[in-house]
Structure 1
Amino acid sequence: MRDSNDLAQAIQQRLARVLEAEVSVRDVEPVTAGASKSIWTFVATINGEDRDLVLRRDPIENQRPENMAQEAAVIRAAGEAGVPVPAIIDSGDGDAGLGAPFVIMSREYGETLAPRNLRDPEVQRNRDLLAEDLGRAIAQIQKIPFDCSPSIKYHDDVAQFEEDYRAGGLLPAMEIGWRWLRENPTPRRERVFVHGDFRHGNLMFNHGRLAAVLDWELPHIGDPLEDMGWVSTKAWRFGYPEVVGGFGSISSLLDGYESVAGWRPEDREVQWWSVFGSIRWGTMCRRQAARTLVGEEDSLELALIGRRVAENEFDVLVGLGLAVPGERDLPTETRDGGMFEWPTIDEILQRIISTTGRSKVYSDRLIRSAVSVVARELNSGPILQQRLADALAAAGYASEDELAIAIRDGAELTDALITAVRTGVESRLLVWNPKYLAYPAPPER
């Protein structure tokens, strides 16, 4: 499609044919245009009635008709199961006149951005009711029939992510996490339908309640605790203390779930899946960074995501009670400018940070973040590396690789070993994102 007018005409012709109605389309506006999906909002007048609709379409150069057909089928089935989802108006493949596989659905109104939702007074006021909404939605998702789409298959999330993680190298904190998961297994439950990415960003809130569950790109058959554990993973709390998405309690989540499912999991099962969630997200961050580091996609954003693995390492330790959130001092040392003298590299970096900090352009914010990391590593890296070397030596290890292998192979988790693990994780976080170290653990009950 050359422009919004061409797209409006194509949508109009398609809907008129499929709905056998008089249709006119206006106000076609792009929302996103990425490698995964392109999204537009528009108004369709159907037999004289205005309807606010959304078009999700594959990029022309990256068409996946089977995936789009699955998404449409699953959303339809979710609606029939009682899940709050947009209503599907039409869907089709690349031969349907819109140039690529697509879904047209009702436009739902609300907010999906976590920072805005967590600052919303109505979300805070309705935190228990909202957590119950999520629990009910998860239970309703589990009622979706497996045969709603032929491509829905059983997926062992834990086994797949452990394989992905180990392919990328071992990390001491993650090895402690994997060992804890093995030593504290959850009951084997009957397999159910799973959303696969049930978290902020894919959940729309309106007036402090759940308005819609979005982005059905990772559905599969799996464990009934998967979605509950994912929405309770520490990364999705965004610095807020409550376990469920930063606003709700496990108790309220399970109240909502039980009201529909008819049974109640144990709190510890949610904890198990949330610890796994931290490992899962860390593995995903490392996988995304690898895409740019191997030359698949040139992206500063993806490269920076690789540093976020330290956040997930810290979350594993916090989740297991092996680290306590709180502010940490960033050590610095004075470096000789050498032959270049003035202005020093530190002064140049600070000017870059200051200049990009005044911009609201997303790419400039990425540059500021990257340069800030470089500045902290230049100033503090040598001291932090020495701290880690000392902690490793005290525990009897020469490197974090050696430490990770030892943990994997069953080494006793002594105080000195835990200190070495924690020192490495906290040192990486001090360089990457010092504020994250102070993000709170869940409140005590």
Structure 2
Amino acid sequence: MPELTERDPEELSATLTQWLSATLGEGANPTIIDLEAPASSGFSNETIMVTARWNEHGSLEEHRLVFRVHPTKHTLFLEADFSLQYRVMHALQGQPSVPIPTLRWYEQGSETLGVPFFVMDHVEGQIPADNLPYTMEGWLLEASPENQAELWWSGIETLAAIHQLDWDALGLAGLANDSFGKPGLDRNMNYYRAFLDWTSHGRPQPIAEAAWEWLVANKPVENGEPVLSWGDSRIGNMIWDHFRPVAVLDWEMASVGPPEMDLGWWLYFDRQFSEGLGVPRPPGFPTHEETIARYEELMGRTMQDLFWYQIFAGFRFAVIMCRLSDLLVGSELLPADSDMGSNNLATQFIAQLLGLPSPAEQA
């Protein structure tokens, strides 16, 4: 939910120019020549895109920067930790198999924008759209099947590379220590159960609750050591150049857990944006069976209970959608009597996958 429209652009430009001047030091003399908030920048942070020039190494250089700003009016996630994504991305800087935008600065104080923010370099490339989804229109759907397959496989290889990192050695041991239980599946289930209780405010959530009961009744046994979990692992959170990832974005949901958790999220959203919407997958995308086999080869371990992990992905998405509906109502982008909190893409598709009555029928 970009909030740039609620800031005076000239005042914001002057504020950021002053901050850049203090940060860059004497003689930089920065100027901002363009400033915007992308409409697709999401709800968990405010995003401000800046083009600036400053003196560097004896010449005037132009830089495209991305300011990720702590939300000033809303928090999408339960107990959201704005610094988490910065800490994870900082730890991953320089990993050749996991491309991360170059991070520049983290501003903890509130003197400049009223809230913390961090700054990273803009990465050129293309991002598959969510609205309308890439399965319905856009550059990926228009690409050749060969290029679609190249994108899919290179994304899967990047996901496996994330899971092969030593998160403890990278200084991310803090991901395994919080109040929601031991690291792994238990912690993630406990977190999203608490998240649902927090965001539902006692309102009926028949599909989410039915999915939770199914998840608890069919909970798998974890095998192998937990890995660094990206959390929001999907092709729409990568920047692509020539059908290969050049940046992995959006680490707000990062945790430690079984690799099936990320792979299940990846497969779930592929299904959500195709069969969940009644449209075919891009013709070049490999089958899920081929994907799982390749992932097992990359990881050197068997991926188990992936249908369960897809339902868990749908449950988590349903919880997020419940919270998102409140934010949209609070922003007067949805009417107060909207049923989006319980009747949305996630709950509709979960009902389809589990053979439940549709959320509209249960309203």
> Which SS does the other structure have where 1:197 is aligned?
coil
- Does 2:350 correspond to 1:316? yes
Q: Which has the higher contact order (CA 8 A, sep 6+)?
A: 2
Secondary structure at 1:133 match in 2? helix
What's the CA shift for 1:170?
A: 5.6
Q: Counterpart in 2 of 1:204?
A: 239
> Partners in 1 of 2:13 and 2:211 — Cα distance?
56
Q: CA offsets per residue over residues 367-386 of structure 1, 9 Å max, x none?
A: xxxxxxxxxxxxxxxxxxxx
Residues 88 and 105, structure 1, Cα contact 8 Å, conserved in 2: yes
Q: Contact conserved, 2:229 with 2:262, CA < 8 A, in 1?
A: yes
Q: CA deviation at 1:313?
A: 3.9
Unaligned runs of 5+ in 1: 323-420, 430-445
Which residue is 2:108 aligned to? 93
In the TM superposition, what is the alpha-carbon distance from 1:86 to its structure 2 partner?
A: 0.8
Equivalent residue letter for 1:29? L
CA contact (8 A) 1:292 1:302 kept: no
Amino acid in structure 2 at the alignment position of 1:113: A
Report the alpha carbon displacement of residue 217 of structure 1 after superposing the two structures with TM. 1.5
- The alignment's TM-score, normalised by the length of structure 1, stands at 0.59
Partner of 1:410: none
- Give the AA of the match of 2:272: A
- For 1:235, the aligned partner's letter is Q
1:111 matched residue in structure 2? 127
Report if aligned partners of 1:78, 1:144 keep a CA contact under 8 Å in 2. Answer: no
User: Tell me, what secondary structure is at the counterpart of 2:123?
Assistant: coil
Q: CA deviation at 1:196?
A: 1.6
Q: Give the AA of the match of 1:148.
A: G
**Aligned in 2, Cα 1:241/1:29: closer, same or farther, shift over 3 Å?**
same
**Which of 289, 305, 309 is the equivalent residue of 1:273?**
309
Structure 1 distance, partners of 2:267, 2:239, is 16
1:56 maps onto 2:93 in alignment: no
Pairwise CA distance, 1:137: 2.2
Aligned residues: 320
Q: CA deviation at 1:24?
A: 3.1
Question: What RMSD, in angstroms, separates the aligned Cα atoms of the two structures?
Answer: 3.9
Deviations 1:99-141 (A, max 9, x none): 5422211111222423464332227442332222222222232
Q: 1:185 to 1:67 in 2, by over 3 A?
A: closer
Identity level (%) = 17
1:377-396, Cα deviation, whole Å (9 max, x unpaired) = xxxxxxxxxxxxxxxxxxxx
In 2, are the aligned partners of 1:69 and 1:92 still within 8 Å (CA)? no
Does the 8 Å contact 1:232/1:274 carry over to 2?
yes
Structure 1 Cα separation of the partners of residues 344 and 257 of structure 2: 28
> Residue type matched to 2:301 in 1?
W
Aligned equivalents of 2:69 and 2:157: distance in 1?
A: 29
Give 2:272's aligned residue.
Answer: 235
Q: Distance between the aligned counterparts of 2:27 and 2:203, measured in 1?
A: 54
Match of 1:261 among 273, 296, 299: 299
* Code of the aligned partner of 1:52: R
Give the TM-score taking structure 2 as reference length.
0.70
Structure index of larger Rg = 1
1:42 to 1:62, Cα distance in 2 relative to 1, 3 A: farther
| Alpha-carbon distance in 1 for matches of 2:152, 2:190 | 29
What are the superposed Cα offsets for residues 165-196 of structure 1, whole Å, 9 maximum, x if unpaired? Answer: 57654626852673366236254342221122
Counterpart of 1:440?
Answer: none
Which residue is equivalent to 1:139? 160
CA shift for structure 1 position 158 = 2.2
Shift of 1:248: 4.6
Contact kept? 1:122, 1:207, Cα under 8 Å: no
Which residue number corresponds to residue 188 of structure 2? 157
**C-alpha displacement of 1:94:** 1.7
